[in-house]
Amino acid sequence: MTSLPPIAVFDLDGTLAETAGDLVGTLNVILAREGLRELPLAEARDMIGAGAKALIQRGFSAAGQPLPPETLDRLFADFLIHYGENLCVHSHLYAGVGAALDDLSARGYRLAVCTNKIERHAVDLLGLLGVADRFGAICGRETFPFFKPDPRHITLTIAQAGGDPARAVMVGDSRADIDAAKAAGIPVIGVTFGYTDTPVDALGADRVISHFDDLVGAVDALVPLDQAA
């Protein structure tokens, strides 16, 4: 019986790609429409990471403005439309991503994306960034009935990509990524350059890296090469 391949699962925003400029740009369009102050990128950057609804809620909270559920639903729909038309104005892959994906693929790893971004935006953005075809699965917030920090978001992504859950590793930047991976019993690598209101070093990842040049070594430490062959 042929065994399933090892798999590396990646978050998207703040992990594979710097997307804050476009996400905060859309948030500011929404805030301006509601008569609220726009937020500087430096102030809003760490509000990203839990999905668009949470970003809108955090933006309104920063403005000291109540946000009833029905208003949030309306603004969420507006956000998705505007963001979908402006996915890749400023967004770009982090340095070293392409080489790291090449190295993992050469070692026999299946690759997947598990993000709280909605699936069509994730697929479209990765296509615009030129790497969508590298992943065996690209799973978003609504792909399954569960999303991070629920561990089933990761385990179902692994299953959809055809990877081995016993030889899997998660790579992410936020508490949602790390908590979901730990709950799934999957080792997790945190990246320091993403979006989090708590330093990633304090979130309990198995390894922390500051550049994609260090990714393969961190993966090897968690899934030894002789097991991944």
pLDDT of residue 228: 47
Q: CA nearest 46: which of 35, 26, 62?
A: 62
The DSSP H or E segment spanning 113 is: strand 110-114
The residue annotated as part of the active site, out of 11, 173, 177, 179, is 11
pLDDT of residue 1: 46
pLDDT of residue 207: 98
Domain 20-84 in this protein, CATH class: mainly alpha
pLDDT of residue 226: 56
What would you measure as the largest C-alpha separation in the chain, in angstroms? Answer: 62
| pLDDT mean across residues, the chain | 94
User: Do 57 and 125 contact (CB within 8 A), yes or no?
Assistant: no
Domain with CATH 1.10.150.240 in the chain: 20-84
Domain with CATH 3.40.50.1000 in the chain: 7-18+91-228
Give per-residue pLDDT as tens, 151-206: 999 999 999 999 999 999 999 999 999 999 999 999 999 999 999 989 999 999 99
13 is catalytic: no
pTM of the predicted model as reported, rounded to 2 decimal places: 0.93
**CA–CA gap between residue 226 and residue 123 (Å, rounded):** 32
In CATH terms, 7-18+91-228 corresponds, of 3.30.70.270, 1.10.10.10, 3.40.50.11890, 3.40.50.1000, to 3.40.50.1000
Mean pLDDT of successive 10-residue stretches along the chain, which has 229 residues: 87 97 96 94 87 91 90 95 97 98 97 96 98 98 95 98 97 96 98 93 97 97 67
Instruction: Name the residue with tokens 């996915």.
Output: 87
